[in-house]
Amino acid sequence: MFSFSQLKGQVEATGLKGKEVECYVMQQQTYKRDERLMKRNKKRKRGLKSLNESEKQRRLESAKLEEEKEIELARISASAKSSSHISGDPRIFIKERGVFSLETAAELADNWVSARNAYPRTSSSHDKKTGRKEHATSEAISRTSKGPSSTVRWVS
């Protein structure tokens, strides 16, 4: 806002009298009020913009963490299931794990391939004496099998 001496100097410079001075003062006050309002609004917009940016950043970080959790869960479930059951079709393997992102699906497909290579198909038998479940790999069965009367060597 103008100081009185500044306002008086401006009024005298314009040569206004009576009601014209009053209108001029009102106009100047309105102008200054609008300037202050614009400054406040700019500050608010900057504040809202920074809040929106920080909210977007938090959401992005949250989404990344959620995706990492999903990947880790898929990795854990893939390793747990791959040793006991490996589906013959990678699409079923991925669908069983409820994957919704392409990156996770690609990673699970890689896990499926490595699991198929690392864990050949197995048949299992329960050992009544020890109470342990033992697995015989299909390779071990085929190497020791020579016919219907042959014995199967169990690999634990």
**Per-residue model confidence as pLDDT tens for the chain (156 residues):** 567 777 778 777 888 787 888 888 888 889 999 999 999 999 888 888 888 888 888 999 999 999 988 888 887 776 665 544 555 676 776 677 676 677 887 887 787 777 777 655 554 544 555 555 544 444 444 444 444 444 444 454
Residues 112 and 131 in one domain: no
Residues 41 and 99 in one domain: yes
**Domain boundaries, position 155:** 125-156
Residues 8 and 57 in one domain: yes
pLDDT value at position 22? Answer: 82
pLDDT value at position 91? Answer: 73
- Where does the chain show beta strands of DSSP type E? 122-126, 133-137
- Both tokens of residue 124? 């299992």
pLDDT value at position 64? Answer: 92
pLDDT value at position 136? Answer: 46
Q: CA-based angle 55:56:61, to the nearest 5?
A: 100
pLDDT value at position 101? Answer: 75
Residues 92 and 135 in one domain: no
Residues 86 and 132 in one domain: no
| Contacts of residue 16, Cβ cutoff 8 Å, sequence gap at least 6 | 24
